[in-house]
Structure 1
Amino acid sequence: MNEKKLLEKKEWECYIFESNGHIELSIPTAKPTPGFDIVYILNETEKEKYLQIGIKALEDRIADMKMNFSNYEMNSWR
């Protein structure tokens, strides 16, 4: 079974999960309606930096996900 383990969260800002050796970043957004989770799997470089210094390493990626959400996988809340 492929279960996600929550590694870190900032409520309504970002959630970081680990699954099968991959780290997934999820950003909730209410726009566009009906609301989405914007999802991104970290590449190896991002993963290593995150494991070394934490969420600070992902600030640029998080900002890009919020601004350019249509370039990422989006899971509707419905």
Structure 2
Amino acid sequence: MVRIYEVPFHPHAGRAWEVRVSGKVIERCDSRYDALRCAVSRASSDGGDARIDVEGADGVWRPFGTDIKRPVALPMAALRASAPITH
């Protein structure tokens, strides 16, 4: 079973960034950077059965591997936006 760590763009109630797994808050952090670091640390500890979903400023959630260096897969909207226009 894949564990999905979620890090939102905005803090919850303007106070703290929540790191969630399956919708359940597992940690609250003082900054988004700390929340990302927490998610990476926990996901890396889980091994190959984890990923990190990060919400962008545009509201789109993007999946990353535990190394957080590149997306696991591109969202469909990003694929459509990058497709060449042909007539």
TM-score (norm 2): 0.30
* The structure with more strand, counted as a fraction of residues: 1
Question: For the pair shown, which has the larger CA radius of gyration, 1 or 2?
Answer: 2
